[in-house]
Structure formats: C-alpha cells, structure tokens
DNA sequence: CTGTTAGCGCATTCAA
DNA sequence: TTGAATGCGCTAACAG
C-alpha cells in the first residue's frame, strides 16, 4: 500500500476516487460506497480506504458527484438582503445547524424583488438542490407553481402563513404587532403611531396587527402611520419620528416596525427632551440584543431568528433521511413581548 | 424550429445543452460557445440559440460545466462569523459586485479558529474555485503554503499587511486606532482606556495602535485595557465599561474596539449620569450607521467595508479576464476619523 | 466560424 | 459484500 501511495502521489495531480481505490486495492465503486454508506462496506476494506484517503489527502469532487447522481449537497437560501440584520441571526443558525452534514448553503439575495426571487428559484431548482429555504410566504404564483413540483424539501422561514408550500418555520408578525400595540394601549397611551421602513410583506402584516389593536381599542380615528419604502436604519428612525412628531405632536407612543427604527426614535426623543416613557412610549420589533442594553431599555417583540435558521436546516436534514415533518406543517416559534422601561410608565 | 421545440418540450425532462442545439439546428459545442463567448459565434446562430434557450427555459448545469472545464464559477469566501456585523456590509458589497458575472459566492465560517480556516481553504482549493476571499492576514503557515500554490486569485480583505499572499484590500487597523487615540489625547483626555471584545488579530492591532499613541503621549503609565475573548455586543460594552469604571474611576475616555461596545459604553455612562463628552469621551471603530444617529453622536473610525467587498470581487473578476492588479498588491482603502459630540468637549 | 472526438470524476444499475 | 459497464452534461483540443 505504501508503494501504491508513493506512486500515486508522484503523479502530482488531483487525487481522485480511482487513486484511492488503487491505493486501497479495491474498486472505485467500493470507495464511493465507503464514503456514502460506510456500513455497506466490510470493516477491513473500509479501514484500508480510510487510511488511503487520509494519506492521499483525497477530497471528493462535488461537481462529479452532482453530475453522476443528479443531486447536489447544496441548500439554496433565498433572502431579500444580507445587510438586513434580522437575517444575520437566521444565517448564523443555519450555518451552525449545517455542521457535520456535508451540506453547504448557497445564499442568494432578491433585493426585495419578487421577480428576482422567481428567477432565483428557477435557477436553484434546475440545479437539483438538497433543499430550498425561502423568506416568507409571498412568492409569485409562478414561483409557487415551480416549488410545488420540486422534489426537494422547501422551507419557508421568518413567518407562518395559512398555506405553506411544504414546511414553514416562523411566527405571526400580525399577532406580534397586535400584542405590542395592545400593550401600549393597556399602559395608557392614547395616541400610538406606527413607524415603518422597507415595508416588505412581514412589515405590512405588522402594520395590520397594529391597526387591528387600535380598532379593538376604539382608537382607529387617531391612528397615525408613517412609513417609507427605503431601507430601515437608526437614522431613518430619527427622521421618521421627527417627521411624525412635527405633524402630529399629540402622539404619545410609537410602535416601530423594527429595532433599528426604535433606537432612532429613542435618540431623537432624547434630543428633543421628550421623557421616556412618560411623554413617549417606544416599542420595537425583533428584540435585538441592544434593546436590553439601551438607556432606557426598550420594549420589543422578541423573535427567535437563530432558532428559525437552525430548524430550517434541521428540517431539511431530517427529510433527506426520510424523517422530518410532513408537507403542510407550520412550526410557529412564537414571540415574547419583552416589556422594558421605554413603555414602563404608568399613565392613568 | 417551432416543431423541434415542441418535440423537445414533450420529453418533459431536464433541458440540456444538446436540446438547445437541436432546436437551434447547431452542434452542442456552438451553443456552449454562444454561452461563454458570444462573439465567437455568428450573429445568426447566436440569435437562433438565444431564442431556443428562452423558449425552452434552458439553464446550464454548473456541475457538468465544472467537471468538464475543471473550474467552477464559485468564489469561496471564508470569514470568522456571519453574525459579526462588520462582515454584513462586506458581504453586501460582494453580492452587489457579483451581479451579471455568472459567479456565485460560497460562504463558509471559521468561528475564529485558524484550524477550521486551514481546513476550509484546503477543501475550497480542491474544488478549483474561480477565486478565494479570506479575512485578514493571519492564516496558518500550512494554509499560506497551500494558497501560494493555488492557481486562482486570492484576496485578503479587512486589512492590509506587510506581505499579501496575492492581493489585499483593507486598511491599517493599527493606524486607525492610533489616530483615534491621539485624537482623544489632543482633546485633552488624560486617562483614556481601551475596551475590546472578541480579540481577533485585527482587534489586537487596534490595541497596539492605541498603546503606541499612549506611549507617544507619555501616557503609557496610566493606560488601562479591558478585554474579553467573548463576542462583542452592546451589552458587553455596558459590562466592560462598568467593570472598568468600578476599578479605575479616574478613566476619562474610552477607545472601543468597535461600535457595539461604544454604544454600550454610551448607555452605561448615561445610566451613571456621566456627562459625555465632559466627564467621559467615547470613540468607536467602524462607524456603523447608528453612530451618527446616537444621542450624542459618537466619534468613530469610519471604514469602507462595502467597498472592500466590492473591490475584492472586482479584483477576482478582473483577474479572470486577464486584467487586475498583479500579485503582491495591497489596496489600502484607508479610514476617516469621524469626530462627533462624544469627544467634542474642550478639556483645557 | 463550426463541428468531431474524447473524457472530466463520480454514482447508478445490474450482475456476480 | 463487491465489481463492470455505462452515462450524467458539458467543454478542451483539435480539425475543418
């Protein structure tokens, strides 16, 4: 075996499965099997093969494997944007859940364009991925059609909806915002407003939840909503709030579409010497780590983004092993309203 | 052509290059060429081919392409962590610069482990990537050896260093911190401290820059440094600062390793009613968007992370076309100290 | 500018 | 449990 290895190494080329087979004195297909289902190979052969692989430094060629098998070890992930920090945690959960699986994630971004999403779905699906992870439930009809025919697990993350394509992992953004708005009202705020940027479908549902709570409280008349299609940021929170308070000074609380905006509102309110929570209540969405650390700490709707990423990958891994949840399953990770000082005041 | 297309569609299978060739009445290799170098195909043939591709909805099989050509259209990107938000902007720059190139990014994370990095480099390189992007200059000797032999462009991002493997795009973290520290001293602060979390190599160099400035000002004696290997966060900034001020109440300024920590210091200082910038000066690093929006706005060292990502991809694209910078080039994107209210006080 | 031949490295199918 | 034959879809190298 030593001789064989030396001879092969001297070729000074890429090490292939055939080289390993030669060094281990078995046929290539046996090496292939040893790699994919080690229990179908005799322990002796397996041992020789493993040794040869280690000594030669063999690494399988995924392209050849994909071409021959008609499958790839790639999980396609299609999200709107990498710089939206709600997705960062989701991605971290995915990467962590990937470890030791031999699977890799291929990330693509739509820039919030449904057409771009449809195109990416089409491209990914023709590449026979091991699975596909999508953000949300608002794929175009054509895309849904493609996905329905796909023969790989499809996981929709971020939110749960009425009719998942396959499996969904998320939460109800409507309900989260509804509960947050109701909390503001219960705390005695009588003129809460909604602040939103980058109004994607999930943001729209948060807004709907806010409106529902306001209607329930008989406050529909005084409801103020300020939104912009531009990306969300802390500065945008400052600007939107400045705009809001200039036109509607009677506003006494703000439900923000996300935590960046909420932090911007906090800063802008401090600049204007509006006391929090007495003159102004602030509530965010997602509960980024900094909400707890802020001065004062900011009330926010906690969501388990890391868990979503992990579960999405876990579901695909389970499916590939014949287990996992059946199509049609929605996994609602829920949310938790973290009540903090920014809405802590008693308002009679 | 219409007939041919109908016949092919009826196969109801994956559309291959051969199908396109049949529909367009050319040989497969001509279609292949039309895809890769359209100018080497006659306009008439190209037109027929493009039409057939559109009508059949043909999408190339990257695995087959990779296997046949020995190259992939994948750019490997190896970074420490996806949840560290300095990398989010870099990634956004990369994805933007990718558009229309047919290249894709394959992201992998090391979890700040040099061994993991070495392993990933090994795996990526055996897959004949179009390029490789690495964070920083602290690859293991074995990894540098592998990379030196690689026959694809290698771009080191985040920082510039003495001896790039191929091309480097970044800035001097030492100099950025040096300038920031000198700024604090010039403003009259007499006992600046350094706060750091997740002390990766770049953080170490920032610390070195801080120390150098302190030495230069004859303040080496009073230099206080608080660091932790744990991940950086706003809350961590609160905690580290609380720790610092408890043991060293004479501290009058803090240079933070990054902006998350700086924001935490701001919040914690506000909780303790330390007036900023009079009692305490705060300086961050990276100049995240929120630094400008904070109340008071926080001085920070602005870095062009988006540009780094863009340039890294652009360099690889250029190289693939035979252009681009030669090996050994370092592109220093520099930094800009953004002086804001958190260090704005006059201190006599 | 276009086509022919051959083969990339591996997995599937069948046979032993 | 192992192996032989075959082909996945595409491109390199050459020839025309």
Q: Determine contact, residues B86/B286, Cβ cutoff 8 Å.
A: yes
For residue range A38-89, list pLDDT tens digits in order: 988 899 989 999 999 999 999 999 999 999 999 999 999 999 988 888 999 9
pTM above 0.85, yes or no: yes
Looking at the fold, whether B190 and B290 belong to one and the same domain comes out as: yes
Residue A7 lies in a domain: yes
- Give the C-alpha separation, A95 to A110, whole Å: 20
A32 touches strand C (CB under 7 A): yes
Q: What is the CATH number of the domain that holds B140?
A: 3.40.50.2300
Instruction: Answer with the residue of higher pLDDT: B234 or B40.
Output: B234
Domain end (from A60, A95, A110): A60
DSSP string, B309-324: HHHHHHHHHHHHTT-S
A122: chain B residues, CB-CB within 8 Å: 57, 59
Predicted pLDDT of residue B161: 93
- Give the C-alpha separation, B23 to B203, whole Å: 59
Domain end (from B38, B60, B82): B60
Looking at the fold, whether B87 and B47 belong to one and the same domain comes out as: no
Predicted pLDDT of residue B347: 43
Closest CA to A320 of A66, A149, A71, A135: A71
Shortest Cα–Cα distance, B297 to chain A (Å): 9
Give yes or no for residue B196 having a pLDDT over 60: yes
Residue B197 lies in a domain: yes
- Cβ–Cβ gap B63/A62 under 8 Å: yes
The count of structural domains within chain B is 3
Task: Report, as an integer, the average pLDDT of A130-156.
Answer: 95
For residue range B41-83, list pLDDT tens digits in order: 999 999 999 999 999 999 999 999 999 999 999 999 999 988 8
Nearest nucleotide (CA of B68 to C1'): C8
Residue A251 lies in a domain: yes
List the Cα angle A247/A298/A332 in 5-degree steps. Answer: 105
Give yes or no for residue A346 having a pLDDT over 70: no
Predicted pLDDT of residue B100: 85
Q: Nearest residue (Cα to C1') for C9?
A: A64
Q: Determine contact, residues A193/A223, Cβ cutoff 8 Å.
A: yes
SS (H, E, C) chain A: CHHHHHHHHHCCCCCCHHHHHHHHCCCHHHHHHHHHCHHHCCHHHHHHHHHHHHHHCCCCCHHHHHHHHCCCCEEEEEECCCCCHHHHHHHHHHHHHHCCCCCEEEEEECCCCHHHHHHHHHHHHHCCCCEEEEECCCCCHHHHHHHHHCCCCEEEEEECCCCCCCEEEEECHHHHHHHHHHHHHHCCCCCEEEEEECCCHHHHHHHHHHHHHHHHCCCHHHCEEEEECCCCCHHHHHHHHHHHHHHCCCCCEEEECCHHHHHHHHHHHHHCCCCCCCCCEEEEEECCHHHHHCCCCCEEEEECHHHHHHHHHHHHHHHHCCCCCCCCCEEECCEEEECCHHHCCCCC
Predicted pLDDT of residue A10: 52
Which of A89, A92, A126 faces B59 most closely, judged by CB atoms? A126
Predicted pLDDT of residue B183: 98
Predicted pLDDT of residue A348: 40
B 62-101, residues with C-beta < 7 Å of strand C: 67-68, 70
Instruction: Answer with the residue of higher pLDDT: B347 or A72.
Output: A72
Looking at the fold, whether A56 and A85 belong to one and the same domain comes out as: no
A158: left (phi over 0), alpha (psi -120 to 50) or beta: left
Predicted pLDDT of residue B261: 98
User: pLDDT above 90 covers what percent of chain B?
Assistant: 86
Both tokens assigned to B22: 């049949």
Q: Determine contact, residues A55/B61, Cβ cutoff 8 Å.
A: no
For residue range A18-39, list pLDDT tens digits in order: 999 999 999 999 999 999 999 8
Predicted pLDDT of residue A142: 94
- Among chain B residues, the shortest Cα distance to A70 is held by B63
Q: Which residues pair with A171 in a beta bridge?
A: A159
- Residue A347 — very low, low, confident or very high, per pLDDT cuts 50/70/90? very low
Residue A246 lies in a domain: yes
Task: Report, as an integer, the average pLDDT of B286-306.
Answer: 97
Both tokens assigned to A306: 């890391």
Using DSSP's 3-state secondary structure scheme, residue B223 falls into coil
Q: What is the CATH number of the domain that holds A13?
A: 1.10.260.40
Give yes or no for residue A1 having a pLDDT over 70: no
Looking at the fold, whether B36 and B184 belong to one and the same domain comes out as: no
Task: Report, as an integer, the average pLDDT of A313-337.
Answer: 95
- B220 phi, psi to nearest 5 deg: -55, -35
Environment class of A6 (CB within 10 Å of its CB; exposed 0-12, middle 13-18, buried 19+)? exposed
Looking at the fold, whether B180 and B286 belong to one and the same domain comes out as: yes
- Among chain A residues, the shortest Cα distance to B125 is held by A59
Environment class of A127 (CB within 10 Å of its CB; exposed 0-12, middle 13-18, buried 19+)? middle
Residue A65 lies in a domain: no
Structural domain including A49 reads 2-60
């Amino acid at each position: 075996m030593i001789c064989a290895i030396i001879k092969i190494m001297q070729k000074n080329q890429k090490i292939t499965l055939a080289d390993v087979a030669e060094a281990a004195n078995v046929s290539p297909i046996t090496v292939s099997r040893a790699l994919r289902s080690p229990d179908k190979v005799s322990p002796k052969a397996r041992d020789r093969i493993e040794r040869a692989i280690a000594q030669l430094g063999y690494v399988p060629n995924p392209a050849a494997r994909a071409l021959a098998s008609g499958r790839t070890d790639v999980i396609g992930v299609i999200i709107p944007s990498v710089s939206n920090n709600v997705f960062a945690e989701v991605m971290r959960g995915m990467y962590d859940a990937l470890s030791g699986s031999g699977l890799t994630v291929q990330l693509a971004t739509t820039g919030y364009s449904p057409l771009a999403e449809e195109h990416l779905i089409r491209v990914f699906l023709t590449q026979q991925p091991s699975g596909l992870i999508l953000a949300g439930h608002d794929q175009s009809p054509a895309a849904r059609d493609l996905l329905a025919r796909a023969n790989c697990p499809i996981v929709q993350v971020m939110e749960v909806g009425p009719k998942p394509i396959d499996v969904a992992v998320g939460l109800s953004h409507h309900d989260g915002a509804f509960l947050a708005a109701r909390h503001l009202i219960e705390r005695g705020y009588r003129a809460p407003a909604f602040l939103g940027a980058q109004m994607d479908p999930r943001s729209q549902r948060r807004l709907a939840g806010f409106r529902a709570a306001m209607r329930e409280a008989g406050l529909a008349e005084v409801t103020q909503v300020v939104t912009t299609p531009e990306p969300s940021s802390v500065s945008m929170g400052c600007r939107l709030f400045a705009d809001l308070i200039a036109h509607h000074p009677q506003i006494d609380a703000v439900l923000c579409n996300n935590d960046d905006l909420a932090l911007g509102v906090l800063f802008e309110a401090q600049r204007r010497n509006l006391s929090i929570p007495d003159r102004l209540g602030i509530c965010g969405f997602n509960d980024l780590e900094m909400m707890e650390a802020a001065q004062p700490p900011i009330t926010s709707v906690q969501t388990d983004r890391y868990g979503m990423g992990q579960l999405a990958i876990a579901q695909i891994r389970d499916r590939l092993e014949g287990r996992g949840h059946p199509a049609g399953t929605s996994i609602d990770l829920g949310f938790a309203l973290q009540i903090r000082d920014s809405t802590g005041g008693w308002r009679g």
